[in-house]
Amino acid sequence: MVEPAFKPKITAIDRIQENLVARAERRALNFLCLQMPRPVTPDMLTAFGMVGALMVFAGSIGSNYDRDWLWLSVIGYCVHWFGDSLDGSLARFRKIERPRYGYFLDHSCDGFATTLLVVGIGLTPFVQLEVALVALAGYLLMSIHAFLSVRVLGELRLSYLNAGPTELRLVLIALTLAMYFAGREAAVVFYLNPFDLFVGGVGVVLLALFVLQTARIAKRLAIEEPPRN
């Protein structure tokens, strides 16, 4: 007799979203879910979001030849928001969620898309790659923290310091527009220009937040699970 494959128990995840635009974004997503044609599926929207990330990456690379390519990145951020924010919302709206599959695919795509976005910034002529990688490390560490919190607390925190993925995209759009209109900036601290300082500063904040949040959760768990005698 063949034993059935092991399937981990799926429990309800408490989604915590306290970012600044959460309410307005939720109203917009609910409206879009109502308007979405039936043939459009959550998987199609996930793929659409990845196309947006590739557009951002292509625009960043192209800016080495002509900064007008940065407009492709701006459009790409909007496409990425549409697909990435709407895929899960549509699944929940239509009550066709696949918890394990959706969680795995969505966050796997998120990690790859974020890598494309941030590495792309580091491959423009405006920001040094080493600085962009600091920001990427900070973001991915915060993602790891969020995924671990799901396992140990049953909570998926989608925002920190009143900011979430949508606010991050708005910041990146503003950064892209600043790069377009300001052009290359001269170094102001050692070999770092203002764009380097901004991107690196965001990375340092994320790294510090990861350390603080890890210490906070570890302290909470230590109280809830005292040492056994």
Joined together, the tokens standing for residue 222 give: 């230590």
Q: Taking the CA atoms of the chain, what radius of gyration do you get in angstroms?
A: 20
Looking at residue 17, its pLDDT comes to 64
Mean pLDDT of all residues in 104-121: 94
Q: Could you give the CA distance from residue 172 to residue 179 in angstroms, rounded to a whole number? A: 10
pLDDT category of residue 6 using cuts at 50, 70 and 90: very low
Question: Which H/E stretch holds residue 88?
Answer: helix 70-94
Looking at the DSSP assignment, which residues form a beta bridge with residue 192?
189
Cβ(192)–Cβ(200) below 8 Å: yes
Looking at the DSSP assignment, which residues form a beta bridge with residue 15?
156
pLDDT category of residue 165 using cuts at 50, 70 and 90: confident
Domain annotation for the chain: domains and CATH numbers:
19-224 (1.20.120.1760)
pTM higher than 0.85, yes or no?
yes
Cβ(83)–Cβ(52) below 8 Å: yes
